[in-house]
Amino acid sequence: MNQQPKNQSMNTKDNCPNCGAILHGAFCSNCGQSQKRTDRFLLSLINEAFEDIFRIDSRAWRTTYGLLFKPGFLSTEYFAGRRARYIPPLRLYVITSLAFFISLSIFNFFSDPDTLQVNGEDTVAVEAVSSAGSDGSEGQPSEVTEAATDQPDKEVQVDDEIEFETLTLPFLSDEKTEQLRTILKRQSIKLREMLEEDPAEFGAILIDLAPPIIFLLLPVFALLLKIAYVFKGMFYTEHLVAAVHNQCFLYLVLLIFSFIPLLVPATWSGWIQFVTGAWIPVYMLLSLKNVYRQSWPLTILKYVVLTVSYLILLFCGMAAAVLVGLLTL
């Protein structure tokens, strides 16, 4: 009696083609693979590729809605073990951070590189003006040229020299300190030239520095949460998940904030941006309240302390990164 080979029996309708486990539905209970046929029309394959994004009950939509409008919801769901229906925290962080910083790079790339705001003055556009006059006669200054020359002091005003003579570091010798002063002075001149010639390049440097700094601050902020809620008996990883979700919310809201002027008429965009910006601190406060479930006075106190601490850390981190960037221009 001929027996069917084992590898062929695994391809029957009762077994998963991927792992061979017995099937009990449209998905394999062992490996999770869908049992949809692959020899289908092209449109059905395209629909399958995007259904997880555009399907209203997909993980992407559930995660986005919970992230934007339910402070602390994703973290509490994660702690409760209901994780399969939402995008995992680290994957969500990668998606939102990439979307946010890529959009910043695009806005910086398409912004006017010849526009710069200096010393609190109005933004001044430095334009290359043709020597031909507005009436077409050669050598006659146009109205634009006259307007530009009428305000010589408002063009990029940067001090001719930045002095570092007062810089002293106790752990460096006089010789090393003098070398550091020389380096900083030379690099400050390069920075001044960059601001004069291509301000967008300086913005691009800041955009490149921000992602690693913010990412490195996440575990530090989680440690602050652990200290602030030490008597809650929660693991450090739980505080880290809460910090990641809040940072993802911030990325997503700032991304929406930046696109509002492009999608909404000018008469409404200002108000919508105001409401969007005001939602950020309210969301962060409600997130602490919903995740850690302490009294309002205690939550508000810890919220203020944690916010100030994080802003100080962010300022120090960015200052250190800018200093390193200045030394490596």
Q: Please tell me which residue, 86 or 192, carries the higher pLDDT value.
A: 86
Question: Is the confidence at residue 9, as pLDDT, over 60?
Answer: no
- What pTM does this model have? 0.68
- Sorted by where each begins, the domain ranges of the chain are 53-112+198-327, 115-197
Q: Please tell me which residue, 7 or 204, carries the higher pLDDT value.
A: 204
How large is the average pLDDT for residues 264-270?
A: 89
Q: What are phi and psi of 57, to 5 degrees?
A: -105, 20
User: What pLDDT does 162 receive?
Assistant: 53
User: What pLDDT does 110 receive?
Assistant: 56
Dist. CA 329–CA 208, nearest whole Å: 13
Q: Which two tokens stand for residue 244?
A: 């990641």
How large is the average pLDDT for residues 10-22?
A: 74
Taking all residues of the chain, what is their mean pLDDT, rounded to a whole number? 77
- What pLDDT band is residue 122 in, cutting at 50, 70 and 90? very low
Q: Which two tokens stand for residue 42?
A: 């092209």
How large is the average pLDDT for residues 226-233?
A: 94
Question: Is the confidence at residue 184, as pLDDT, over 80?
Answer: no
Q: Please tell me which residue, 301 or 130, carries the higher pLDDT value.
A: 301
User: What pLDDT does 295 receive?
Assistant: 96
**pLDDT tens-digit profile of 297-317?**
999 999 999 999 999 999 998
User: What pLDDT does 298 receive?
Assistant: 96
How large is the average pLDDT for residues 265-283?
A: 93
How large is the average pLDDT for residues 196-218?
A: 80
User: What pLDDT does 130 receive?
Assistant: 40
Question: Is the confidence at residue 150, as pLDDT, over 70?
Answer: no
Dist. CA 127–CA 112, nearest whole Å: 10
Q: Report DSSP state, residue 142.
A: P
- What pLDDT band is residue 6 in, cutting at 50, 70 and 90? very low
Question: Is the confidence at residue 296, as pLDDT, over 90?
Answer: yes
How large is the average pLDDT for residues 211-219?
A: 91
- What pLDDT band is residue 118 in, cutting at 50, 70 and 90? very low
User: What pLDDT does 194 receive?
Assistant: 75
Dist. CA 324–CA 329, nearest whole Å: 9
pLDDT above 90 covers a percentage of the chain that reads 39
**pLDDT tens-digit profile of 22-73?**
888 888 888 878 777 655 566 666 666 666 555 655 788 999 999 999 999 9
